[in-house]
Amino acid sequence: MFLQQIINGIVVGSVYALTAMGATLVYGIMRILDISNAGAYAIGAYVSFFFLMQTGSPIVALVAGVTLTAAFGFLVQKFLYAPLMNKSPNVSLIAGIGLFIFLQDFLRLVAGPQARELNFGTLLPSIQFPSLQLTLYGTWFLILGATAVLLFILWYLLNRSPIGLAWRATAQDLETAKAMGINTNRVVAFNFILGYGFAAVAGILVGILYNAVYPTMGDVPAYKMLAVIVLGGLGNPLGTVLAALVIGMAETLIGGYIGFFLPRDAIAFVVLILILLWRPQGLLGRRRTS
């Protein structure tokens, strides 16, 4: 049973990692907490659902969901966040929250408040190991596989490709990067496209995992992902993955063994606060110099 819980924790953590990656990338470049990313999560799931209903093809649904949401990210950055870049961070925060609230209710009005199934039809088989009291669900493989692939792609992009170099330069110091001839606008746009694309994938995977797509599905991710990225050290993708696993594991083990002494979603914040008391810069953040 312990092994079951551990693997369960890793799966939960992987979902959190994917969900939080979008906001991590946005923060890395723009130093803003993007809550509307959770709106992208829900939109990705809904667009996917729509295309699945229309075409019956999971591939089309997946591709449509990710690309359309990514395109949406481009628009959001261009028309909302870019003009606000040199204003106080509170401003973009509230703008992001406003957009998120708007998107959620938009989905409710367009698609109805009832939950819809996201059935990709592929009945992924589960594998049982009765001797180890272990059941590995098909969907778990899907999630772990998708996470591994996507994180690898991200790592490759950021560390081994020219655009990754441009990204890291821009993240470190936008003005200098611009002075060095990097097209920072393009980097920022690319960043958002990627970030929203990640959120869409996360939303679709969660929709498949729980067979439910509903307008408020972005609620919990909206704030829990903030806890994850802050715990990770803000803007550091590796930190995010680590933090996501820590929180996913904590929630699962507490739920399975002690029982929730506090609601599950508060646990992420308890972990955050405790760790920040010990390391104010987060798990992998840089200590502030002043």
Partner 1 sequence: MYEQVIAINVGLAMLLAMSLNIITGFAGQPTLGHAAFYGIGAYTSALLTAKAGWPFLLALPASGAMAALVGVLLGLFSVRVREDFLAVTTIGINFVIVAIFQYVQLFGASLGLAVPKPVVFGIRFGNTEILILLIVLNLLVYLFMRHLPNSWLGLALGGVRNDEEAAASLGFNPDHYKVFAFGIGTFIAGMTGSVYAHFMGFISSTDFSFPVSVGVLSMAVLGGLGTVSGPLLGAIILTLAPEVFRFVSDYRMLVYGGLLVLMMRFQPQGMVGDDSWLRQRWDAVRTRGKGGARRG
Partner 2 sequence: MRNKFSLILLAFVLSLALVVAGCGGGAGDKKPAAESKAPVKIGFFAPVTGPAAADGDSVTKAAKLAVEKINKTGGINGRQVELVAYDDNLKPQEAVSIAQKLTTKDGVVAAVSGSYSHTTRAAAPIFENAKIPMIAAYALHPDITKGGDYVFRQSFVGTAQGKAGAFVAINMLKAKTVAILNVDNDFGTTLADSFAQYFESKGGKVVSRDKFTMVEKEFNPVLTKIKQLKPDLIYMPTYSGTGAQIARQAKELNLGIQMLGTEGIDSTMEFLKVSGDSANGIIITTNLNRDSKLKATQDFIKDYTAMAKHAPDMVAASTYDCFMVLAEAMRKNGPEPEKIKDGIYKIKDFEAATGIIKGYNKLGEVTKNVQVQVVKNGAFTYYGEITDAVIITPPDK
Contacts of 110 (CB under 8 A, 6+ apart): none
Query: If you search the block for the tokens 């551990």, which residue do you land on?
Result: 6
- For the segment 75-114, give every residue that binds partner 2 (CB under 8 A): 105, 108, 112-114
Q: Which stretch binds partner 1 (CB under 8 A): 53-61, 63-71, 150-158, 277-285?
A: 277-285
Of 166, 281, 182, whose CA–CA distance to 235 is shortest?
281
Residue among 25, 33, 174, 201 that touches partner 1 (CB under 8 A): 33
Q: Which does 95 bind (CB under 5 to 8 A by kind): partner 1, partner 2, none?
A: partner 1
Of 199, 183, 227, 182, whose CA–CA distance to 100 is shortest?
199
Residue among 88, 123, 162, 259 that touches partner 1 (CB under 8 A): 88
Residue among 16, 27, 46, 190 that touches partner 1 (CB under 8 A): 27
3-state secondary structure of 135: strand
Amino acid at 133: Q
The total of other beta-carbon atoms located within 10 Å of residue 144's CB is: 16
Residue 150 main-chain phi, psi, to 5 deg: -65, -40
- 230 is an interface residue for partner 1 by CB under 8 A: yes
- 216 is an interface residue for partner 2 by CB under 8 A: yes
Token representation of residue 100: 């998120």
- 39 is an interface residue for partner 2 by CB under 8 A: no
- How far is 290 from 278, CA to CA, in rounded Å? 18
- 210 is an interface residue for partner 2 by CB under 8 A: yes
Residue 136 main-chain phi, psi, to 5 deg: -105, 115
3-state secondary structure of 38: helix
Of 209, 263, 290, 255, whose CA–CA distance to 15 is shortest?
209
- For the segment 92-131, give every residue that binds partner 1 (CB under 8 A): 92-95, 97-106, 108-109
- For the segment 151-210, give every residue that binds partner 1 (CB under 8 A): none
Q: Which does 211 bind (CB under 5 to 8 A by kind): partner 1, partner 2, none?
A: partner 2
Q: Which residues are near partner 1 by CB under 8 A? A: 27, 31, 33, 79-80, 83-84, 87-95, 97-106, 108-109, 223, 226-227, 230, 234, 261-263, 265-266, 269-270, 272-273, 276-277, 280-282, 288, 290
Q: Which residues are near partner 2 by CB under 8 A? A: 1, 4-5, 8, 12, 105, 108, 112-115, 117, 126, 128, 135, 137, 206, 210-212, 214-216, 219-220, 251-253, 255-257, 259-260, 263-265
